[in-house]
Amino acid sequence: MDSENVPPLDDENVPPPFVVGIAYNLKKGISSDCEDLEAEYDSYDTIDAISKVFAAENMKVVPLEADGDFIERLKASGVDIVFNIAEGIHGRGRESQVPAILNFLGIPFSGSDETTLGLSLDKALTKRYLSTFRIETPPYQIVRSPDFKLDTSLTFPLIIKPNAEGSGKGISDLAVVDNEEQLSELINKNFKLYGQPMLIEKYIKGREFTVGILGNGKDMTVFEPMEICYLQHEREHQIYSYKVKTNYQKYVSYNCPSNLDTATSEKMKSIAAQIYEALECQDMSRIDFRLSEDGTVYFIEINPLPGLAPNYSDYPMLAGFCGMSYGKLILSILNNALKRYGIHCGHRESRGLNG
């Protein structure tokens, strides 16, 4: 091409690049008695992988770490939309912090809003709300101090989890208990480490699955259930704990599509879609289930802000098993958000934004 016919970069007839901010919280390697303190946060590799997907589509990428300077950094960024993967910093409503700020400032963003994220991180509230939709979930009790009395309707074995954590955080090898002594010891330990209410839940012996959902309304895609198949027979290695997730190659294999019978698979996908819509999720979510030995599908929890670490996180892994590349998944999340906001980028030479 003749260089004389190429307009200069500052030519007013050349549209500026589409600007995507990436809001995130970064692992800092902080030393703590909690080995999983930063389990929910992302690494540089994840931020870099997402950035490369957008950069390959001729977008300008602005990193926006969700720390104390986030608001100032955001205001100066000039972003058209924020791709949100930030987990927030403190409190059970921490996942709501960045979406609430973005909504307050009128800045479009991907993913669910602050109300959905605030509700979904609280496991007990989510279970209580979804029970009104007749969603089957294991019996449970929320305890707010180490001084508690076990509900007489709950029978051992029981599994103990911090009520407002994700990424397997607070779920140890010893999370399943068989008697009052073990229960009391673990509850006391967890209160000291995590300083928040604990969820006591009936342990469902059976198979474990996760279902990914992408999109909204008529454009919603429910991926095939992915089974987490445990490679070791000891019970402590048959729960999707932080240790198992971190060392997944040693402890689990993944089967997607699973070998579920068609009726059970379709039922699980239907329940996942019902949960997604009941909680008013947007753009993406991952929903966990246990299938009991008698064939009952139990909802365990939902993550409307699923991890996106390539070659590690469950959500991109199950999408990959279903034929969707990492790059296509990231662009599809963004495209679904753009469509919600009615943002049209037809003038931009981007395959991701134009379909």
Residue 235 DSSP code: G
138 close to 123: Cβ distance less than 8 angstroms = no
User: Per-residue pLDDT for 317 more than 80?
Assistant: yes
- Write down the pLDDT at residue 32: 63
User: Per-residue pLDDT for 324 more than 80?
Assistant: yes
- Over its C-alpha atoms, the chain yields an Rg (Å, rounded) of 22
> Residue 257: is the preceding peptide bond cis (ω within 30°)?
yes
What would the two tokens of residue 353 be? Answer: 């934004």
Tell me the average pLDDT across 106-121: 97
Q: Please state, for a pLDDT cut of 70, what percent of the chain lies above it.
A: 89
* Sign, Cα dihedral of 64, 70, 76, 82: positive
SS3 162: strand
Residue pLDDT, tens place only, 212-261:
999 999 999 999 999 999 888 777 667 787 778 778 888 899 999 999 99
Tell me the average pLDDT across 74-85: 97
What is the pTM (predicted TM-score) of this model?
Answer: 0.90
Residue pLDDT, tens place only, 258-298:
999 999 999 999 999 999 999 999 999 999 999 999 999 99
- Write down the pLDDT at residue 39: 67
Q: Which residues contact 246 (CB under 8 A, 6 or more apart)?
A: none
What would the two tokens of residue 134 be? Answer: 């007749």
Q: How far apart are CA 213 and CA 280, in angstroms?
A: 12
Correct CATH for 3-111 of 3.40.50.20, 3.40.50.170, 3.30.160.110, 3.40.80.10: 3.40.50.20
State the chain's mean pLDDT as an integer. 90
User: Per-residue pLDDT for 49 more than 80?
Assistant: yes
User: Per-residue pLDDT for 112 more than 80?
Assistant: yes
User: Per-residue pLDDT for 343 more than 60?
Assistant: yes
User: Per-residue pLDDT for 347 more than 70?
Assistant: no
Per-domain boundaries in the chain = 3-111
Q: How far apart are CA 310 and CA 54, in angstroms?
A: 15
Residue pLDDT, tens place only, 143-189:
999 999 999 999 999 999 999 987 677 787 789 999 999 999 999 99
Q: How confident is the model at residue 14 (pLDDT cuts 50, 70, 90)?
A: low
Q: Angle 321-22-164 (CA atoms, 0-180°, nearest 5)?
A: 75
Residue 177 DSSP code: E
SS3 202: strand
Tell me the average pLDDT across 65-84: 96
| Burial (CB count within 10 angstroms: exposed 0-12, middle 13-18, buried 19+), residue 277 | middle
Q: Angle 155-159-162 (CA atoms, 0-180°, nearest 5)?
A: 130
Which amino acid type is present at position 29? G
Cα–Cα nearest to 97, from 158, 28, 42, 24: 24
Residue pLDDT, tens place only, 193-219:
999 999 999 999 999 999 999 999 999
Q: How far apart are CA 286 and CA 257, in angstroms?
A: 15
In DSSP terms, 60 is beta-bridged to 19
